Amino acid sequence: MAKAKKTTAPLNLDQFFGPSDETADLDFLLAGESTQTAERARERGLPLLDLPLTAIAPDPQQVRRLPTPDDLLRMETAGDRAAAALLIGLRELGQSMVDHGQVQPAIVYPDTEPHNPAVTHRLLHGQRRWSAAVLMDMPALWVVEVPKPTDVTRLLRQFEENERREGLSDMERTWLLIMLKDSLQKEAGGEVPWSVVEEQLQISDARRHDLLRLLRFSPEGQAIVLRYGWSEWVLRPLHMAINASLIDQGTATDLLRELANAGEVTASFVADVVDEYRRQHTRTEDAAVESHRYDEDSSSSAPPLARADVMRMVARMRRSVAQVQRQVPSVADSTTRAALRQEIEGLLSSLQLLLQDLTGDQS
């Protein structure tokens, strides 16, 4: 007797998007203007607290990705223009908070951190105010406390609030797409189609596909895209070159660093940068092929480089290492740091072999 085919009941996703008792307080706060947060909190009977800054932790999965003050300071020291610009704005906000007081409270929920027992709350909204307060060494932050939301609720409310105020960058939208789909599937206990995510974020299927192309960049590359706020359209010549195997992720990251030092970045400018790299790469490949042919055809060894040329090559190498050393503190992603460490270990091995050759010449 054939077994009956097992059927799976359709997922009920309405529970994640409609109002509920668990989200009522947060929904009420966010339904008004930002200037009404304190007034609405009092009307709802929600706690308004002055919390020590050390008791508040930022949300590492915040929809709007803002580096912590310590990270921003390290990036500024390393010469990151975007970090320097962010710090100017945050210091201005902090000085205003010192001079005139905090106009509206941030929104937090009870939470802890295993490795930091001082933390009792996590930011839901207001990371700019918290960051500004940290930079100005203020003792406390004025907050309203709400119950801890689910991941889906947190992501959707942060998205709605940021869209209403300023709008997200394309890199932030891309990460939000992934996080929201993962959170929905985790809470629903089953596969959630992209159409559900698209409906909640009010984007088309074509727009989603465009945004996800930014994931072709390496984690370090994505972090650069985030800091400078470039759109997917502007960077299209670059990520399409990755897709066509014209360049690899490492080269794309190098070109993104080059763009970070440029002035106005447009799609045509990015296309020119990619084309110039391809022309230089092609010339290098042609030169390598010609050199190989010369080595095969010549009955004697190739003439050695002049001493000055060799010394210039070594000097350039030292300058490159120093430049990388200045950039390392701004690389916070553990995966990128591991990949960088692997490359440096390979370089060190090559240098050790070269040093052995030179030492052998003196014996």
- Which pLDDT score, from 0 to 100, does residue 324 have? 76
pLDDT for the residue numbered 27: 79
Interior/surface letters 283-300, b for 16+ CB within 10 angstroms, e for the rest: eeeeeeeeeeeeeeeeee
CA distance 221 to 224: 5
The pLDDT value given to residue 213:
95
Count CB neighbours of 328 within 10 A: 13
- pLDDT computed for residue 297 by the predictor: 52
Residues in the chain, how many? Answer: 363
The amino acid at 226 = L
Q: What is the DSSP string of 10-64?
A: PP--HHHHS--TTTHHHHHHHHS-GGGHHHHHHHHT--EEEEEGGGEE--TT-SS
44's tokens: 């709802």
The series of mean pLDDT values per 10 residues for the chain, 363 residues long, is 42 51 76 82 92 92 85 88 90 93 91 91 91 94 92 86 78 93 88 90 93 94 91 95 92 93 89 90 58 50 58 72 74 69 77 78 55
For residue 13, which phi and psi values (nearest 5 degrees)?
Answer: -95, -5
Give CA separation, 48 vs 114, 209, 224, in Å: 25, 42, 37
CA 117 vs. chain centroid, Å, equals: 27
**Which strands sit side by side in the sheet containing 121-125, from one edge to the other?**
48-52, 140-145, 106-110, 121-125, 56-57
What confidence score (pLDDT) does residue 252 get? 94
Please give the pLDDT value at position 1: 45
Domains and CATH numbers, the chain: 23-165 (3.90.1530.10)
Q: So what's the pLDDT on residue 8? A: 37
* Per-residue confidence (pLDDT) for residue 291, from 0 to 100: 52
How high is the pLDDT of residue 139?
92
